[in-house]
Structure 1
């Protein structure tokens, strides 16, 4: 397994861990649990940011190498994959920025509560683009298995 594959696998697991901590935090706060639970998702979010930045840097290095080698990808099903990845990366950057802005806004003496809803749009984009990228390889394999001639 290459370093790139390890970083991507770690990023996927961190995304799952972050999602779980968000759900647990929301449920705990809805049940009038301790307020400190709202800080629990910050650790996986920070690790998710670092692994995402690593993937971001690795993707540009790979893009430059592939352009230098003039390698073209085949298949119409893979044509949208780079755009979805770019959307995922961009929405990840916007999500982190809105989370930071939310923490700054809520730390004020007179907090602006509506700012806490700002991260939801980029988070939704992250969810749907991440699910698309997660399901994509499986659907390509399934389609190629259907096209392959059956023995017998």
Structure 2
């Protein structure tokens, strides 16, 4: 599997983890709990999610190789 495929897979799983962390944070706020670590829990997947997202965003502009699964811009 190519690097791009791995980055895409990691990005997808990180987005699921971030969504679950945000849902846990909202549930804690609705319950009235003021627990700092629940609020910071969303930052753990957010930082690598940002890095992989920026990489995926930049791929079309970096002139990807032919055959790596990227479509040429029209």
- TM-score under structure 2 normalisation? 0.75
- Which string of whole-angstrom CA distances, capped at 9 and with x for unpartnered residues, describes residues 76-132 of structure 1? xx9200000001100000000000001111222342232101011211121100100
The aligned counterpart of 2:69 is: none
Could you say which structure has the higher helix fraction?
1
The aligned counterpart of 2:54 is: 131
SS at structure 2 position matched to 1:104: helix
Alignment of 1:44-55 (within 5 A): none
Aligned residues: 66
Q: How well do the aligned residues superpose, as a CA RMSD in angstroms?
A: 2.1
Structure with higher Rg: it is 1
SS at structure 2 position matched to 1:83: helix
Looking at structure 1, the residues matched to 48 and 5 of structure 2 have their Cα atoms a distance apart, in angstroms, of 15
Structure 1 runs of 4+ off > 3 angstroms? none
**Structure 2: which 5+ runs fail to align?**
67-74
Change (3 A) 1:110 1:138: closer
**Structure 1: which 5+ runs fail to align?**
1-77, 145-152
Higher relative contact order (CA 8 A, sep 6+): 2
- TM-score under structure 1 normalisation? 0.39
The aligned counterpart of 2:42 is: 119
The aligned counterpart of 2:16 is: 93
